[in-house]
Amino acid sequence: MRDPVTLKTLKAMKHRGDPFACLACYDATTARWLERGGVHVLLAGDSAAQVMLGFERTIDMPMEYAILMTAAVKRGAPRTLVMADMPFMSYHRSVDEAMGNAGRFMTEGMADVIKLEADETQAGIVDRLTRAGVPICAHVGCKPQTSSVTGGPVAAGRTSDSLEQVVRDAQALQDAGAVLLLIEAVPDEVTARVMEIASVPVIGIGAGTACDGQILVVNDLLGLTDHPPRFAEPVSSIGPEIMRAGKEWVSRVRDGSIGGQRYSMRAGESEKLGSTSKESATKDATKPNT
């Protein structure tokens, strides 16, 4: 059994230049197997709104479901660092509301770190949460929760001005106390600049290979997604295997060959059923007609 993965673990890995692996995960069973596989960080992501609940957008993630899911992932992988994704509008309206909701993820959800999609204007929220004892991962670059403004997910940092904004966001949020940075869907040049200024571990998704850690949605990794993002290359084809298993079960049910072992009655009990049936039939035969 491996030692628990903590923020100290990730900082030490960054210092050694040893990349760490992260995956977005949504249930205890999958989390258990990923921990056994050595994955260092699991994100109970708001992408569950899409891959688990069938919505088209991450902003439809229900708060209560997110907290329950985070706790489930942590129970499945107790020795893995688990991050919770704060849902859309759960930390935007006021610092007090952000602190209350983050506290629920830390206590009810058993999260080790809270992830916020943020920019430099939200540094004050990160500062207050950090001072209250909430470890924050600041998500910069492409931010899916704001995709309604852009008409869909859009890569960040593809112009010099956009690059500079991503770097300013990362710097401001780190200065405010963020213990991790996550950078999504940016060119390598942006990642290189962020890595230059980052003193905390940096997790990348669609951000090249220079980051300290890499994350993908586990469904994309396993080949469960019909149209994965351009940066996600599956390592398995579980989707077709699930379909094959479903077809096999349909065939077994149709043929009456469902397999497995049947239950049996205890010794002598079946014979009692037989004698009871005979006694009942005899009584019915001798019963006078009325």
Residues classed as catalytic: 184
Q: Which of 49, 66, 69, 45 is nearest to 57 (CA)?
A: 49
**Do 111 and 105 contact (CB within 8 A), yes or no?**
yes
**264 vs 141: CA distance, rounded Å:** 61
**Do 9 and 41 contact (CB within 8 A), yes or no?**
no
| β 202-205/136-141 pair status | unpaired
DSSP reduced 3-state for 275 = helix
Q: Which residues contact 272 (CB under 8 A, 6 or more apart)?
A: none
Query: Which token pair is 60?
Result: 């439809």
**Do 62 and 79 contact (CB within 8 A), yes or no?**
no
For residue 141, the cross-strand partners are 184
**Do 153 and 174 contact (CB within 8 A), yes or no?**
no
